[in-house]
Amino acid sequence: PIISKPHKKTFEEVARERADIVKRARENKLTENDVLGGTITVSNLGMFNVSFFTAVLNPPQATLVAIGRSEETPVYENGELVIKPLAYINIIADHRVVDGATAARFLNALVDKLENPEKLLLDGEKNLVPLPITPEVKTVTLAAPAKAEVAEKKPTTIPKYKPTYRDEEIEEFRKVADEYMKALRQYFRFDRETAQAFFRFSGAATRSYVLPEKIKHLITVAVSVAIHCKECVVLHVRDALEAGATPEEILDAVTPAILLSGGPGTTMLEVVLKSIEAFMKEKERK
């Protein structure tokens, strides 16, 4: 069902709105506003080792993205044969609601973001770095004039910016990176492929020290919910709370994962809540 702004609603409100939309869809009483400008359903059978499939729309769904399993595939690229992870992604759209050209443009944009995830960071990256930035001036001397009568040109000054870190901050970054890698190694026990995919996406941000420790743990909690790994949820909820995250921040982080992973994802909410409750009780006893 199309539910607008779900992140601003409680789970009870989402459930009531979902039931109302489904009821009106079956009675053919939906309006245009009920099917436009809402969420997109993702069918991720790739996590169940399905390589390619055609998903089926259920009213009032307007658009459905089907994601297959990622496989190592030989690809001819830049004059040589390379092995790359490839996955089939297709879009099923109700063309009474979504124009075919619009769906095709969305699919192209989606593929571009998945193949070049660093683009997702570019717009907001400067806002993620709280450390002071100071200019470093570099002088470049131009080539000598060809003739004596040519007036001598002044050197060109090019400002170059780079973040400055204190020694203790660099040491702290290394500790965070070590903890992050330790958390990723935990994933290998349950789902090697997912751990590798997650590292490919987030590894650059970790190595550049862009994300603070708390945010990294919140990301791992959300991924744990998305892959339905109960043991991972328990582990990373504890890590997030110890890193300073509040229960509300954890719920905010996992809400998109629960909504996007469909019915099975809602069962993970109870695991998250019980993990938070157990940690808080243990903290009170100490």
Q: What's the domain range around 224?
A: 167-285
Query: Mean of the pLDDT values across residues 216-224?
Result: 85
- Note whether 118 and 12 are same-domain residues: yes
Tell me if 218 is assigned to some domain: yes
- Note whether 118 and 140 are same-domain residues: no
Tell me if 250 is assigned to some domain: yes
Tell me if 51 is assigned to some domain: yes
- Note whether 195 and 142 are same-domain residues: no
225, 283, 186, 210 alpha-carbon torsion, rounded to 10°: 80
- Note whether 96 and 151 are same-domain residues: no
Confidence at residue 144, expressed as pLDDT on a 0 to 100 scale: 46
Tell me if 127 is assigned to some domain: no
Confidence at residue 36, expressed as pLDDT on a 0 to 100 scale: 64
Confidence at residue 120, expressed as pLDDT on a 0 to 100 scale: 64
Query: Mean of the pLDDT values across residues 189-209?
Result: 58
Confidence at residue 272, expressed as pLDDT on a 0 to 100 scale: 92
- The answer, yes or no, to whether the previous bond of 155 is cis (omega within 30 of 0) is no
How far apart CA 208 and CA 62 sit, in angstroms, is 39
Tell me if 226 is assigned to some domain: yes
- Note whether 96 and 148 are same-domain residues: no
Enter the tokens of residue 180. Answer: 């992050």
Q: Which amino acid is at 48?
A: F
- CATH number for the domain including 14? 3.30.559.10
Tell me if 214 is assigned to some domain: yes
pLDDT tens readout for residues 108-152: 888 887 777 766 665 444 443 334 434 444 444 444 444 445 445
- Note whether 69 and 147 are same-domain residues: no
- Note whether 224 and 203 are same-domain residues: yes
Query: For residues 280 and 136, which has the higher predicted lDDT (pLDDT)?
Result: 280
How far apart CA 134 and CA 220 sit, in angstroms, is 33
Query: For residues 97 and 43, which has the higher predicted lDDT (pLDDT)?
Result: 43
* 213: nearest Cα among 173, 155, 255: 173
Query: Mean of the pLDDT values across residues 217-242?
Result: 86
Its pTM stands at 0.33
- Note whether 172 and 147 are same-domain residues: no
**Banded model confidence at residue 276, pLDDT cuts 50, 70, 90:** very high
Examine the pLDDT at 279 and tell me if it is beyond 70: yes
- Note whether 173 and 280 are same-domain residues: yes
Query: Mean of the pLDDT values across residues 210-214?
Result: 70
- Note whether 157 and 177 are same-domain residues: no
Tell me if 219 is assigned to some domain: yes
What is the number of domains present in the chain? 3
- CATH number for the domain including 259? 1.20.1290.10
Tell me if 1 is assigned to some domain: no
- Note whether 158 and 174 are same-domain residues: no
Residue by residue, what is the 3-state secondary structure of the chain? CCCCCHHHCCHHHHHHHHHHHHHHHHCCCCCHHHHCCCCCEEECHHHHCCCCCCCCCCCCCCEEEEECCCEEEEEEECCEEEEEEECCEEEEECCCCCCHHHHHHHHHHHHHHHHCCCHHHHCCHHHHCCCCEEEEEEEECCCCCCCCCCCCCCCEEEEEEEECCCHHHHHHHHHHHHHHHHHHHHHHCCCHHHHHHHHHHHHHHHHCCCCCHHHHHHHHHHHHHHCCCHHHHHHHHHHHHHCCCCHHHHHHHHHHHHHHCCHHHHHHHHHHHHHHHHHHHHHHHC
- Note whether 10 and 113 are same-domain residues: yes
